[in-house]
């Protein structure tokens, strides 16, 4: 699956309430949807332009904030 953000906040950073999904090829895997609360810490924003890449590289522990909800979907593309 190829995921894309289709919405942004006032700073141009992705929100994730509206998204696009497309299939890349046949296969199976998981798709994880996460609601993450990311308020500033010590008046410093924790939401940054590279947050999605940071999560892809190091998981959710690589970014600030707290996970409010997380759901995993098993996918099969034929």
40, 46 Cβ separation under 8 angstroms: yes
The pTM score is 0.79
Q: Could you report the average pLDDT of every consecutive run of 10 residues in the chain (78 residues)?
A: 93 93 93 92 90 92 94 96
End-to-end CA distance of the chain: 12
Residue 36 bridge partners (DSSP): 67
């Amino acid at each position: 699956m190829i995921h894309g953000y289709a919405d942004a906040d006032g700073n141009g950073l992705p929100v994730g309430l509206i998204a696009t999904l497309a299939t890349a090829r046949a296969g199976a895997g998981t798709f994880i949807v996460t609601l993450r609360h990311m308020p500033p810490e010590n008046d410093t924003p924790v939401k940054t332009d590279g947050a999605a890449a940071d999560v892809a590289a190091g998981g959710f522990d690589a970014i600030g904030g707290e996970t409010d909800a997380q759901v995993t979907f098993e996918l099969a593309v034929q």
